[in-house]
Amino acid sequence: MKNILVIGATGQIGSELTMELRKRYTDSNIVAGYIAGAEPVGRLKESGPYEITDVTDAEILDKVVKKYKIDTIYNLAALLSVVAESKPKLAWKIGIDGLWNVLDVAKDNNCAVFTPSSIGSFGIDTPHVNTPQDTIQRPRTMYGISKVTTELLSDYYYNKYGVDTRSVRFPGIISNVTPPGGGTTDYAVDIYYSAIKDEEFVCPIEKGTFMDMMYMPDALDAAINLMEADPAKLIHRNAFNVTSMSFDPEMIYNAIRQHMPDFKMRYQVDPLKQSIASSWPDSLDDSCARKEWGWNPNFNLESMTADMLEKLKIKFL
Ligand code: AKB
């Protein structure tokens, strides 16, 4: 029996992760943790318990964990890369002070913790092609700094207190349910919405800029499968490189044009987004995740594009 708390359950990943966990662990309590002003709605609200859980408030966190006898926490509270640059202190408060609270509560209540890291944890000095699992991590963005710290603090709690912390470095996540907000890779979601609404897409990222990406069903598998992995097989913990595909704006544009030949795109590069994107890897080496816990994504650019367009058509047409 698993009792799971998803912190950030109304966000881009959290909203789908909570529903997936409720599907997979039918007999269990999967608690949707949200912050005031971002209450769950619809199926997320109706299908299971929900509680205010603000990572900056350790007392509330502890109460919810005790009330539901939580044994696993998915901590998805964070600002994305572009927003974090405009609110660096808030990014730190949520991402690191908040994580500290989560880890302390986990230590006191014997919970396992998943807190995602990101391709943003790498920087300009990191080898960009086939970026190794263990390599230079000297990011210059607040998002990146908070993600490297997330990895280190999570490892610290594992090594010092035995808290079962695990993590992946998520690439850009593409989904047709809850839109992302304030990320560098958001263009790869927005482009599908423009296509389906028959609008020209204005691309903020320069042609030839490659970044790793992943379709949401694979991202959910990554998080859940890592948390279910046999700990004896894990050489790494915080955090594993994972990827499904790497593309530049031209490649995703052309993949959409296979289905919608009249779709138009032009470039208007956003300097902040571009400088962040240029500092991130072009492609990750995720062989450690494949070896240590069987990571094996199902979607590539073509199959994701077909599915995205089909699902968005149902939603909008
Ligand atoms: C962002 O663009 O900020 C995120 C990420 C890759 O971590 N999607």
Residue 117 CA to ligand 1 centre (angstroms): 9
How much distance in Å is there from the Cα of 63 to the middle of ligand 1? Answer: 31
Nearest CA residue ID for atom 4, ligand 1: 183
- Whether residue 247 contacts residue 307, with contact meaning beta carbons closer than 8 Å, is answered with no
Per-residue pLDDT of the chain (317 residues; tens, 9 = 90+): 789 999 999 999 999 999 999 999 976 799 999 999 999 999 999 999 999 999 999 999 999 999 999 999 999 999 999 999 999 999 999 999 999 999 999 999 999 999 999 999 999 999 999 999 999 999 999 999 999 999 999 999 999 999 999 999 999 999 999 887 899 999 999 999 999 999 999 999 999 999 999 999 999 999 999 999 999 999 999 999 999 999 999 999 999 999 999 999 999 999 999 999 999 999 999 999 999 999 999 999 999 999 999 999 999 87
Fold category of 4-171+214-241 in CATH: Rossmann fold (3.40.50)
Question: Which atom of ligand 1 has the smallest separation from the CA of 82?
Answer: 3
Ligand 1 cavity residues, CB under 6 Å: 80-81, 118-120, 170-172, 183-185
- Say how far apart CA 93 and CA 70 lie, in whole Å: 24
Closest residue by CA, ligand 1 atom 1: 183
What's the 81 CA to ligand 1 centre distance in angstroms?
A: 6
SS3 of 87-113:
CHHHHHHHHHHHHHHHHHHHHHHCCEE
Q: Give the pTM.
A: 0.96
**Helices 12-24/216-228 angle, 10° precision:** 60
Could you give the CA distance from residue 292 to residue 69 in angstroms, rounded to a whole number?
29
Residue in 82, 116, 140, 132 with CA at minimum distance from that of residue 13: 116
**What would the two tokens of residue 96 be?**
């690191």
208: tokens are: 């030839």
- Fold designation for 172-213+245-281+299-316: UDP-galactose 4-epimerase; domain 1 (3.90.25)
Compute the distance between CA of residue 98 and CA of residue 84 in angstroms, rounded to an integer.
Answer: 15
For the chain, the structural domain boundaries read 4-171+214-241, 172-213+245-281+299-316
Active site residues: 143
On the question of a common fold for 4-171+214-241 and 172-213+245-281+299-316, the answer reads no
